[in-house]
Amino acid sequence: MLAQRYQIVVLLGLAALCSCYLLLPLSASYLLASRLRDSGYSNVILQLSYPGWTRMRIPVVSFQQDLGEERLMVSLTDAEIRYDLGQLFQGRVRQILLRDAAIHVLTVQSAEPTAHDGRDTDQSDDGESPWRLLTAGDLLRSLPILPFDELQLDHLTIFREQATGPLRRVTIDGNLTYSGREVGGHLVFRGRDTASYGLAVVGHSASTWSVTLASQRPQAAPIVSLQSKAHPNGAQIQVNGRLQVNVQELAPFIALLVPIGPELERVTGEVSIDWAGIAAAEAALSSLWKDERTHLDGNIRVHVTLPALKGVAKDIAVAYDGTFGGNATQAEWAMNPGVLLTATVNAQPRIIPEAVRLILPHGDQPVRIENTQAVQGALYWKETPIRTVAEGPLHVTYGRTPGPLVAQFEATRVEGLGNELVLAEGAYDLEGILPKAVTELLSAKEAMGGVQGTVKLARTHVRGVLLPPSSVTAKQIGQGPTLIPSVTLNLSEPLTIECDLTAIRCSGGVLIATIRAPTVKFSGRNIHIAQGVLKVQGAETTKTAWAAQGTLSMAGVSPVSGSWWPATSDWIVKFSADQGGIKADLRVDIPTHEGFVIAAIEQPLQTAQGAAHGVIGPLTFNGTDRRLSKMIMGLPHATDLIDGMFTVNVDASWSSAFRDRITMMNGVSATAKVVAEKLSGQYHDHVVKGLSTTLTLHAQGLESIVTTQPAPIFVAAVQSGVDVTNLAASYQIQWRAADDLPVVEVRDFQCEVFGGTVSNPGPVVDLAKLPLTTTFSLRNLDLAKILSVEQQKGLQGTGTLNGTLPVTMTSDGIIVKDGVIEAQPPGGIIRYASTSDSSKILSDSDRQLQLVAQALNNFQYSLLRVGVKYGETGILDLNARLEGRNPDLQNTPPIHFNLTVQEHIPTLLKSLRLVEDIQGAIERKYRRPL
């Protein structure tokens, strides 16, 4: 019975062992595949065969992993592991045989949001940057490699889609052995249409090894040679080593990692590194740099030229000469003065802020990095995270010299913790023509600047200082009626700007800058500005809001000769702005009036509905220092205001975007109220006294200007040799932009002259559609007052005159046809008392003329009728009829005078003595078309 039980137990044990053996490939495959998936790999396929006493086949292993914009794909076919059972239980194998292996690195389409779809783009640039390269460390860290004594490669294919050159697809075979403290092996690399490359590795201890990469052509020089020799020194080993790289021969391998283009013959240079160090004799290779007794010093020399780096730069030259040293806690390095890098870049790295990239020129631009003094740094790799420090002036020049724009940067100190930049200090200097994107923001045709300052980054805090004499000059600013040929903004005092990148908040100090704009053209007039000052304070911006306030002052604003503008004025604009809108208050002072113009402007940024209110005056005139001629330059000759008060109130609104100036002007609705109270002054030969009017104008965009209602006007007196008093009328104006001249409607015109009145019910005068005919009525003109202005001595008269004058206004002047002036019944008296000179002339005349002279001594007329015609040439035709008699001449019959006069107006007026003997003034008055 006991024997039978033992037999059953043995059978069950054998069955269990057989079951485990049968399930071993499946369970092991599942466990290893799960471990690969947990390590970040996907699409894992793993198949194991049944293990033998000394070997096990692996038919298929396949997995992949996404690395940024590239995908790593690994596949093994018909691999074999050879082992001894004793070593296997110790976790080691004797040999790994890879008969057919392939590693493919393919480019994949990025699915991350971009700025083009309007989503957040605040992602790391590493995934999109061409500087992200796969390194051997990246690949080895991700592969599950077992400890082995020998690795044999029969056929390993490595393919990288982004790579260029003959080693884009490379085949590797050979073997690598590791036993105790010794490493040895030989690998052969073969590319497309290239010679084979051999890599020989020999390592005898932790401090003695040799690695040589060379072409297998006859008598080929080594491409990479790494030699290290050890000299015992008690319990330590003195290690001396050298690494030499023939960069030109290494070009196919560089093209495998970096897209440098097909011109591999242009790759030149060499890399040489020498070092000497101390290491413990018993230190293992894997823990060499963790041993506190390890210390290394050396120097490095790099001179490399590359034809291109696809998508980044071309004609790249790198030169580095320096020293280094390190131990288990830190590494130190120093770079000797020289030119570190020269290249022509054709893409701006995204690490550069957007505001800076907007200013920098685009396209192919040369870059030069150099240091005139030694640059030193340290790497503290014992700390967690690793801390790095670099100090020394490193100068970067971007742009052609000379060229349209040159940017220079100088870094003085940089610190980092792990992958985080925690401190950076430096200076910058930009000089030249600004790009088109900036000029469009300024609405200018050309802009140039010279900006310099310092910047400091401390983790998420940025502090920048803009230093004098930074300046920006823009040319041909504006459109429409306003044009600034040139304006220069010069910084007067340092401007500090601080930003918190975490809170996305920036604030600025006080900006004080002088403005130099010698000439501004406004509506065809040239305005000179002596000096301007811009002061901005309280500037602050956050992620969703911003605000600023300041003052713009312009002193000595005056027109160039010929312009109608205040003689000299000072302008002050106080403004405040935020994300809601912009508000500004304008004040214009002139020497004779403070607050000559006061205006307030408000422009919301959300609704685009703007408004403005402005006041000119009130301006009070006097005959001394407050004359119009002392306020305004460019007035016509003999034009002035010397008394009275003048005020203009303007209210305007618009409903279009502020940036679209033309549309905004068409959308402006404005109302202006003009008030003149008892103005007195002079216009050429006319003296005007007591002019009063209240006029309300309305403008709708650029289409038209009209008066909203009839405006009254009253003038106490107009003196031009003949006094015209109490002139009154009402008028309306309509002026469309399509018309050259306005339409003026005058109603109830009336004035007093020579004791009577001149009136007109009021025509509608379209100055663009002349001729126009209207009739003036003359009532109760006093003949005595008419004759009183006559300088002929002895001529007097009485009577009341009435009449009508049909006046036709043309573009060339005035025409009077069929005008009639008659004496009101019963007539009047004309007396002419001759002087001694005239008496002598009459005594020498004939009898008929003497009789006429006697009749005029006391001529009582019953009819006085004058027909009036006046032409554009200034010729006046008068047909006069005078009937009456002298009661002192009893025997003389009634006398009828028929007189036809055709005279040039100035000559006729002189003969009638209706004005003073100022012949030139009369000529200007009547020859000038109205």
d(CA 507, CA 542): 9
pTM: 0.65
What share of the chain in percent tops pLDDT 90? Answer: 20
pLDDT the model gives residue 453:
92
One domain, residues 739 and 783 = no
Report the pLDDT averaged over residues 323-336.
90
One domain, residues 670 and 813 = no
pLDDT the model gives residue 134:
33
Residue count of the chain: 930
Report whether 30 contacts 45 (CB < 8 A): no
d(CA 447, CA 404): 11
The tokens describing 113, both together, are 């949001």
pLDDT the model gives residue 675:
95
One domain, residues 624 and 700 = yes
Report the pLDDT averaged over residues 505-513.
90
Residue 205 has pLDDT above 80, yes or no: no
Would 890 be classed as within a structural domain?
A: yes
Band (pLDDT 50/70/90 cuts) for residue 125 is very low
Would 324 be classed as within a structural domain?
A: no
pLDDT the model gives residue 338:
93
One domain, residues 825 and 863 = yes
pLDDT the model gives residue 627:
84
Between 216-225, 264-273, 459-468, 645-654, the lowest mean confidence (pLDDT) is in 216-225
pLDDT the model gives residue 789:
67
d(CA 11, CA 17): 10
pLDDT the model gives residue 683:
83
**How far from chain centre, in Å, is Cα 543?**
21
Domain boundary among 695, 712, 746: 746
Report the pLDDT averaged over residues 187-213.
73
One domain, residues 700 and 798 = no
Band (pLDDT 50/70/90 cuts) for residue 426 is very high
- 592: nearest Cα among 613, 572, 618, 560: 618
Q: In this structure, how many other beta carbons lie within 10 angstroms of the beta carbon of residue 54? A: 12
One domain, residues 788 and 718 = no
Report whether 722 contacts 915 (CB < 8 A): yes
Report the pLDDT averaged over residues 893-915.
59
DSSP-H helix ranges across 194-327: 251-257
Q: What is the pLDDT of residues 550-598, one digit of tens each?
A: 999 999 888 776 556 677 889 999 999 988 888 999 999 988 888 889 9
Would 900 be classed as within a structural domain?
A: yes
One domain, residues 698 and 800 = no
Band (pLDDT 50/70/90 cuts) for residue 201 is confident
Task: Count H helices and E strands in the chain, helices first.
Answer: 13, 54
DSSP conformation class of 912 = H
Element spanning 195, H or E: none
Band (pLDDT 50/70/90 cuts) for residue 882 is confident
pLDDT the model gives residue 818:
87
One domain, residues 734 and 610 = yes
Report the pLDDT averaged over residues 515-519.
86
Averaged confidence pLDDT in the chain: 79
Residue 486 has pLDDT above 60, yes or no: yes
Between 6-20, 36-50, 438-452, 776-790, the lowest mean confidence (pLDDT) is in 6-20
Q: What is the pLDDT of residues 54-78, one digit of tens each?
A: 888 888 889 888 877 788 889 988 8
- Which residues of 824-915 form beta strands (DSSP E)? 828-832, 859-870, 875-885, 895-904
Band (pLDDT 50/70/90 cuts) for residue 165 is low
Report the pLDDT averaged over residues 632-651.
86
Classify the phi-psi angles of 690: left when phi > 0, otherwise alpha if psi is within -120 to 50, otherwise beta.
left
Classify the phi-psi angles of 755: left when phi > 0, otherwise alpha if psi is within -120 to 50, otherwise beta.
left
d(CA 311, CA 528): 50
State residue 730 phi and psi, 5-degree precision: -125, 150
Report the pLDDT averaged over residues 430-457.
82
Report the pLDDT averaged over residues 520-545.
84
d(CA 530, CA 515): 9
Query: Exposure of 565 by Cβ count < 10 A (0-12 exposed, 13-18 middle, 19+ buried)?
Result: buried
Would 71 be classed as within a structural domain?
A: no
Domain boundary among 694, 712, 746: 746
- Which residues of 492-608 form beta strands (DSSP E)? 495-500, 505-508, 511-516, 519-522, 525-541, 546-559, 565-566, 569-578, 581-590, 593-604
Domain boundary among 697, 713, 746: 746
One domain, residues 741 and 604 = yes
The tokens describing 553, both together, are 């002052």
Domain count, the chain: 2
d(CA 200, CA 175): 10
In DSSP notation, 275-298 reads EEEEEETT--GGGGGG-TT-EEEE
Band (pLDDT 50/70/90 cuts) for residue 906 is very low
Sign of the alpha-carbon dihedral angle for 836, 840, 841, 847: positive
Report the pLDDT averaged over residues 682-701.
87
One domain, residues 717 and 799 = no
Would 489 be classed as within a structural domain?
A: no
pLDDT the model gives residue 702:
65
Report whether 487 contacts 448 (CB < 8 A): no
Band (pLDDT 50/70/90 cuts) for residue 353 is low
Q: How far apart are the first and last CA of the chain?
A: 150
pLDDT the model gives residue 207:
53
Would 227 be classed as within a structural domain?
A: no
Report the pLDDT averaged over residues 828-833.
81
Q: What is the pLDDT of residues 655-667, one digit of tens each?
A: 755 455 555 556 6
Which residues are paired to 226 by β-bridges? 211, 243
Would 700 be classed as within a structural domain?
A: yes
Band (pLDDT 50/70/90 cuts) for residue 211 is confident
Show the CA angle centred on residue 561, arms to residues 558 and 564, nearest 5°: 65
Residue 120 has pLDDT above 50, yes or no: no
pLDDT the model gives residue 23:
66
The residue with greater pLDDT, 70 or 712, is 712
pLDDT the model gives residue 837:
59
pLDDT the model gives residue 298:
94
Band (pLDDT 50/70/90 cuts) for residue 834 is low
d(CA 925, CA 930): 9
pLDDT the model gives residue 303:
94
One domain, residues 791 and 741 = no
pLDDT the model gives residue 385:
87
Report the pLDDT averaged over residues 834-847.
58
- Give residue 781's domain range: 770-929
Q: What is the pLDDT of residues 142-164, one digit of tens each?
A: 333 346 677 787 888 888 777 76
Report whether 159 contacts 152 (CB < 8 A): no
What share of the chain in percent tops pLDDT 70? Answer: 79
pLDDT the model gives residue 600:
94
pLDDT the model gives residue 523:
66
pLDDT the model gives residue 115:
38
Would 813 be classed as within a structural domain?
A: yes
Between 285-294, 748-757, 778-787, the lowest mean confidence (pLDDT) is in 285-294
- 589: nearest Cα among 566, 621, 609, 610: 566
Residue 352 has pLDDT above 70, yes or no: no
pLDDT the model gives residue 341:
93
One domain, residues 903 and 775 = yes
